[in-house]
Structure 1
């Protein structure tokens, strides 16, 4: 497991993380992640989470692809485009793994509705991709990288390496060196773009980062409660 170095103290990422520090801790300590850590998370909740995550990753990939078209150098564009492709590959892997592990058909998976929180989060990213400036879009995308690496690393450390853990594969996905390197690249890119931006743009970046982090908490919570649309009962 790689521990990420602290971002530059005077950079955007350090300020954004400090601004959301209590929320980041609340995400690590959320009942879903607490149960994931100690291995007691029930399969229905994890299955619900995996389905939502696969659907979320499509919207995340679209936001990354939009960011790639706005990058002002080839290296940044390649990173963002590669991350977009990787998110779609991960979506297919999650779908295949879910079918294999839980023995559900495509029809049964389709029968699990997209949760309000999942739809809200993906809609937020798509809206940023369509309406916001490149720096703000990067800030909206960053929490999905960084929060997952933070949670995965915290769980891996708490489990002493996750050997024999029922969710070991998931934990190692988000706590490994390759993913840590991608997070560091995303952080560095966001810091560079923020440094060149004006104060108003940096404020919008902070608001986007904060809101995306709030959606991260809501996403974990939606899996814990297996969130449904409260209006469904009116629609037959």
Structure 2
């Protein structure tokens, strides 16, 4: 019988395929994604990573195994320091100042996803929390490997000439694959020790986080704004 993670992936297989086929990732793969959409995505992702890092830190504090404590603590640092460096490299390339970034408002989806992870960290147990954190590792690697395969199969025009190749390489490399494997092992171990009710909550948390992953790509592609923005004090027509 397969482990929890394999079952959870199969449970969300339509979502996983939909992420590969989303216009954001299709255009990221061939290098045609507009700079405006990628900049918006990066601004949202940089903010998301802060909340993700905090949730990882909670997982580290609760981890029963020293190895898992080390992994989640290291992943928290990676999210806040290393991955943000990738964003900052693109910000510098695009000539975006701090004022430019501040002008990009945090989207409803970004706020919703980070708030969800932090809510799970505060109100659910360790098994549910790491199940909710797993998609950010696994989905990004899945998408990165898929896109890299398209790059390497498409010659120089689709590969080295892609302005987003640094992003692709970050999430498709072997080191990130190892992080995914380590997180999966921790989740499978927690599920194996849990009762049926806890495993159901873990599956629900994993699924909801996968839904947020799809929504994150989609919100960036749509340059999602708050639908109530025009009702704020001082807004035109308010």
Give the alignment's TM-score, normalised by structure 2: 0.93
Give the whole-Å Cα distance in 1 for the aligned partners of 2:82 and 2:200. 32
Q: Which runs of 4+ in 1 moved over 6 A?
A: none
Preserved CA contact (<8 Å) 2:52 2:76: yes
- Deviation track 1:27-62 (CA, whole Å, cap 9, x = no partner) reads 010010011111110100000000000000001000
Give the whole-Å Cα distance in 2 for the aligned partners of 1:164 and 1:231. 40
SS in 2 for 1:159: helix
Give the whole-Å Cα distance in 1 for the aligned partners of 2:79 and 2:147. 22
Compute the displacement of 1:188 (Å).
0.7
SS in 1 for 2:199: helix
Q: In structure 1, which of residues 192, 196, 199 is the aligned counterpart of residue 193 of structure 2?
A: 196
Q: In structure 1, which of residues 201, 206, 213 is the aligned counterpart of residue 203 of structure 2?
A: 206
Compute the displacement of 1:94 (Å).
3.8
Compute the displacement of 1:198 (Å).
0.2
Give the whole-Å Cα distance in 1 for the aligned partners of 2:107 and 2:213. 13
Preserved CA contact (<8 Å) 2:48 2:110: yes
How many residue pairs are counted as aligned between the two chains?
Answer: 228
Structure 1 stretch displaced more, 60-69 or 103-112 = 103-112
RMSD: 1.1
Q: In structure 2, which of residues 36, 41, 60 is the aligned counterpart of residue 44 of structure 1?
A: 36
Q: Aligned runs of 1:134-153 on 2, under 5 Å? A: 134-153=126-145
Preserved CA contact (<8 Å) 1:54 1:94: no
Could you list the runs of 5+ residues in structure 1 that have no partner in the other structure? Answer: 1-8
Correspondence 1:30 to 2:22: yes
Give the alignment's TM-score, normalised by structure 1: 0.94
Q: Aligned runs of 1:12-161 on 2, under 5 Å? A: 12-160=4-152
Compute the displacement of 1:97 (Å).
1.6
Compute the displacement of 1:101 (Å).
1.1
SS in 2 for 1:113: coil
SS in 2 for 1:50: helix
Preserved CA contact (<8 Å) 1:55 1:91: no
Preserved CA contact (<8 Å) 2:86 2:167: no
Give the whole-Å Cα distance in 1 for the aligned partners of 2:150 and 2:91. 29
Could you list the runs of 5+ residues in structure 2 that have no partner in the other structure? Answer: 154-158
